[in-house]
Amino acid sequence: MDDNRRNNSSQMAELLQPEILHKGNECTSLVACSPSSSEPPSSSASSSSKPPYSSEPSSSRPPYSSEPHSSSEPHSSSAPSSSKPHSSSEPYSSKPPYSSETPSSSAHHSSSSAPSGNGERDVRSRRVEGDEAGRTQREDGASSCCPLNDLKRLPQCDKRLGPLKFSPTHTILIDVAAFNNGKGPLPQRGRDMWHSNFVKSPCSPSSFMIKTGLMKSPTQTWRWDVISKQLSALAKKTAASVDDVKDAIIKYNPKYKSQWSFDALSSFVKVIPKEENNFSKLFSKIAALALKLPELLQKGIPLLRTGHPASITLSQAQISCLLANAFFCTFPHRNATHHSAEYHNYPSINFTSLFGQWSQRKKEKLRAIMYYFQVVTDENTKPKGLVTFERRCLQERDQTASEWRNCQEKPPKLHVTTRGTIETEGTGLLQVDFACSSIGGGVLGSGLVQEEILFLMNPELIVSRLFTEKLADNECLIVTGCQQFSLYSGYGETFEWAGPYEDRLDRDEWARLKRQILAIDAVNYKHRREQYNMHRVMRELNKAYCGFKDHGHNEPDIATGKWGCGAFNGDPQLKAVIQLMAAARAKRGLAFFTFDDDKLKQGLQQTHHLLVTQGTTVAKLFGLLEDYCAVQQASSGSHVELFEFIGNAVRPSRSQL
């Protein structure tokens, strides 16, 4: 089709209506085709089918229950499958979630153990679904999708990293020589950097505050002197209250005394049963951890700034210390949010917004956060690995329309499922975080959708808010090595912390857990029709490609889903096709989780099969998206579904069969 016709929206509306696309030949909707499924029988049905890299959760009782459950009872499957743990999850231990003991590997049982109740029905239904999928594929051969286990995961990549080393774009905050000699992650010596390109540390010699008193004139005081005095007093307490926490925080943040509320933290402590509530001791432990900042971080932390690809590697101990300081709101220059504020283009990091405005959401968030601190303040369970945060930027050449129009890659390997979650079944793949441009979104506020939940289950991700500037349209953040500490059920208002998780992933040569999380932010559309514009489509294609692009060799495949399709009003079919194209160009397979959306699952499977059988290239799909956007803009109120549009454009007419 020539460019003049493609750019004339009114002509396109007439020429490309589905009913006349094939010059009057009868066409059927793509979604109406006989469904097929390539989903294999659930791996939870047999312990022998479980991949060796899967991580097992470790608690067998609902949190905060006063009666321990039988060790053979599975985690409740009553929660929506869009967010509940996968059925291959091992039972929880019967220990209280905030006890000084932590789940051990002895709490794990074979996943082939006979489940009971809802869990049994869930496993049985998965087995039936898998059997039916297998029969359908054998009978009609109408699926080009693959089983989940056919996708390549980090443990299978076997990428040799070589010794850990500095580079001009890679800052390492541990002693590299000691680490490479097997001495573990010791702090790297260096000097503080009180500079706009670095995190301004609360213990910096350049950090001062104005101290006032009733009988004294204002005096300039070293900030860390005030902080350490308050936190040392807390750390020595055998029982610290919420009021003690509040008083300490306000001492070194006096200007916010009348603005900050601690009602959510106070209510949280009150509603947790006393027999499982050891927060008075935990507050003291967190204070002691925060005080280790001058010892654990002796070198300035650079900011991951817009337009500057760079990486930072920290130890998990350093991350826990930074988050303990965030808990006690010690970071200077990070409380103001107005446009002229120094860090206005960075997410908030101090926990003040989490402590105020009590709600059920805040309660469940605090359960996850406090369990994380329970683990990292225990000498027997604190993690000892490394985590890398990498900001990537797409080159200008890669973003042009001509690059997409000329791309001859074919559809990638694809697995589509309504079952499970990215966090469970996607382990070992590159897991997509449906991010906000400000990393972490509302994790420290009231937000509780995919990104916030991901950050609560993997709290080490929260530290990225300390040094990651808002993402530009051609940027992403990749985090390698973060640890999952908790399980959850529900979503939004139904979200609940569901107990401890024991992360059993292997570690790479740099002591990082073999988990990668990719943060890419979608466009937030006030009006749904705004996305049917090639400028907007190009933005999303480039954003996804920035994250999916192979930056080496032997990279894992990708686990994703309805990116930007909730509060951001994205069209699930359009976002699925965009991600297919980006994965094809990046030469990586895709696992797509539809979160209980059967229609999307069937439509995507059938569309993929059609594209594969017809040898459709990314270039061809790009042209179809141009045509589709023209039709959508020309139509007045009516909506043509993208899968149907692609099917009518790509499927051979009957006269050719």
Q: What is the pLDDT of residue 653?
A: 67
Query: 642-650 and 618-634 are packed helices; what angle lies between their axes, rounded to 10 degrees?
Result: 120
For residues 40 and 224, which has the higher predicted lDDT (pLDDT)?
A: 224
* 331 band by pLDDT with thresholds 50, 70 and 90: very high
E-strand spans in 140-191?
Answer: 170-172
Residue 377: how many CB atoms within 10 A of its CB? 19
Asked if residue 559 lies in contact with residue 429, where contact means CB atoms within 8 angstroms, the answer is yes
**CA pair distance 466, 346, nearest whole angstrom:** 8
Q: What are the start-end ranges of the H helices in 48-90?
A: none
Which residues are marked as active site?
433, 451-452
The answer on pLDDT for 540 being more than 60 is yes
Distance, in Å, from the CA atom of 625 to the CA atom of 377, rounded to the nearest integer, reads: 52
Q: Which residues of 561-598 are buried (b: 16+ CB within 10 A; e: fewer)?
A: bbbbbbebbbbbbbbbbbbbbbbbbbebbbbbbbbebe
E-strand ranges in 362-428 read 386-393, 414-417
Residues 235 and 245: their CA atoms lie apart, in Å, by: 11
Q: Return d(Cα 316, Cα 324) in angstroms, integer.
A: 12
Please spell the DSSP secondary structure of 545-560, one letter per residue. HHHHS-SSSS---EEE
Q: Give the pLDDT score at 6.
A: 41
At 378-410, the pLDDT tens digits run 999 999 999 999 999 999 999 999 999 999 999
Strands (E), 459-545: 475-480, 486-489, 496-500, 516-521
Are the C-beta atoms of residues 473 and 307 closer than 8 Å to each other? Answer: no
pLDDT at 214: 67
Q: Is 632 helix (H, G, I), strand (E, B) or coil?
A: helix
Beta strands 558-561 and 590-593, pairing class: parallel
- Which of 63-77, 166-180, 319-333 is predicted with the least confidence, judged by mean pLDDT? 63-77
- CA dist 440 and 458 (Å) reads 11
The letter for the amino acid at 95 is: K
Do strands 310-315 and 386-393 pair parallel, antiparallel, or not at all (unpaired)? Answer: antiparallel
Structure tokens at 32: 């109406």
Q: What is the DSSP letter of 525?
A: -
Beta strands in 5-61 (DSSP E): none
Model-level pTM? 0.81
**CA distances in angstroms from 322 to 173, 212, 292, 331, 463, listed in the order given:** 13, 28, 9, 9, 7
- Which of the four pLDDT bands, split at 50, 70 and 90, describes residue 222? very high
Phi, psi for 48 (deg, rounded to 5): -70, -20
**Among the listed ranges 128-142, 225-239, 298-312, 540-554, which one has the minimum average pLDDT value?**
128-142
Whether pLDDT at 637 is above 70 = yes
- Residue-wise pLDDT tens digits, 70-82: 333 333 333 333 4
pLDDT at 18 over 70: no
Q: Rounded to whole angstroms, how far apart are CA atoms 328 and 480?
A: 26
In terms of average pLDDT, the best of 95-104, 124-133, 422-431, 618-627 is 618-627
Structure confidence at residue 654 as a pLDDT band (50, 70, 90): low
